């Protein structure tokens, strides 16, 4: 009996020691990688060396505008693509004046599918080194699928903007990158695409598509010199998120994009910002059912608050 107890104790000791060693290695690797990513970064990787031009969709506000500005700051010429020509002209003028680079604009509505011939004509002949697929659409407020206002139209819009635009824009730009064996495609997904988010069902699903599409595309074309990145931010202080004041966990678009660009060439799937990366690591440890339950409760509360404020039943 004493012999068996001794063997069991020895086994438990080595299991415990092995577990501690494994966790120590995991934490050490995570800390090393975090320092490499956020402390050292890869800031010089993105620039005209990839190609003269950067193309940014949804580029008149928020994250898209900040990507356009940061890429212009690195000396890249910028093609701005968005819906409003007035806003496009204003942002193009600001970038041209501030960063002394050439700019072009293409005004299209990404809710439509018949816009890509116009975009293709506008991009013809340009040496495009970076494509930022940023244009996106979410709900006005969290809602049950069948209760979404104007449901059929909302389905069409979210799929056209969040899914089809990413595929079509990549289709237009990628061949030139492959021909030159260099380029970067940065697809702005969302933390809502990492795990299922009830009451934002269509948005969560479309952003999950962007994430998987990016990961697959990166594996297909990395050997051809193309870096494809899935960017999965949590809340950023933008109009889309309806957040006006930046905080530590809800950075300004400028702060977020500066951090995210440091990861290009290093990390093909990133939350783009150190605090968001920590949040993503924690959420990835949760069982899917638990995350969905927590998310459901949060969004039910947000839904009730919105409906009360707007006097809806």
> Mind telling me the catalytic residues?
203
Q: How far apart are the first and last CA of the chain?
A: 70
Is-contact 196 289, C-beta < 8 A?
no
Residues in the chain, total: 313
Is-contact 175 185, C-beta < 8 A?
no
Is-contact 32 111, C-beta < 8 A?
no
Is-contact 204 192, C-beta < 8 A?
yes
User: What is the rounded CA–CA span in Å between residue 136 and residue 187?
Assistant: 11
Q: What does the angle CA 57 – CA 62 – CA 68 come to, to the nearest 5 degrees?
A: 50
User: What is the rounded CA–CA span in Å between residue 64 and residue 68?
Assistant: 6
User: What is the rounded CA–CA span in Å between residue 74 and residue 95?
Assistant: 12
CB half-sphere exposure, 269, CA atoms < 13 A: 16
CA distances from 13 to 3, 17, 22, 23 (A): 15, 6, 14, 15
Nearest CA to 76 among 108, 44, 38, 120? 44
CA distances from 55 to 44, 215, 224, 251, 310 (A): 18, 20, 20, 24, 38
Nearest CA to 194 among 209, 172, 181, 180? 209
């Amino acid at each position: 009996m004493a012999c068996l107890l001794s063997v069991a104790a020895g086994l438990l000791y080595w299991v415990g020691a092995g577990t501690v060693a494994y966790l120590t290695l995991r934490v050490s690797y995570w800390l090393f990688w975090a320092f490499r990513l956020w402390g050292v970064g890869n800031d010089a990787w993105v620039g005209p060396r990839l190609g003269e031009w950067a193309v940014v969709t949804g580029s008149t506000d928020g994250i898209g505008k900040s990507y356009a500005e940061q890429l212009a700051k690195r000396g890249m010429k910028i093609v701005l693509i968005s819906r409003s020509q007035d806003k496009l002209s204003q942002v193009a003028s600001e970038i041209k004046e501030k960063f002394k680079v050439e700019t072009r604009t293409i005004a299209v509505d990404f809710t439509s599918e018949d816009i890509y011939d116009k975009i293709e004509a506008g991009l013809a002949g340009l040496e495009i080194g970076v494509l930022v697929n940023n244009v996106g659409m979410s709900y006005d407020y969290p809602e049950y699928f069948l209760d979404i206002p104007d449901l059929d139209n909302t389905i069409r819009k979210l799929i056209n903007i969040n899914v089809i635009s990413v595929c079509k824009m990549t289709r237009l730009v990628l061949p030139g990158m492959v021909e030159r064996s260099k380029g970067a495609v940065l697809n702005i997904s969302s933390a809502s695409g990492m795990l299922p988010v009830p009451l934002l069902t269509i948005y969560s699903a479309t952003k999950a598509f962007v994430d998987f599409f990016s990961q697959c595309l990166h594996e297909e074309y990395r050997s051809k010199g193309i870096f494809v990145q899935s960017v999965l931010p949590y809340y950023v202080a933008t109009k889309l998120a309806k957040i006006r004041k930046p905080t530590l966990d809800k950075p300004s678009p400028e702060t977020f994009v500066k951090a995210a660009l440091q990861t290009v060439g290093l990390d093909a799937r990133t939350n783009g910002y150190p605090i968001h990366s920590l949040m993503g690591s924690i959420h990835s440890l949760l069982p899917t059912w638990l995350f969905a339950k927590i998310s459901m409760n949060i969004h039910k509360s947000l839904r009730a608050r919105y409906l009360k404020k707007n006097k809806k039943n």
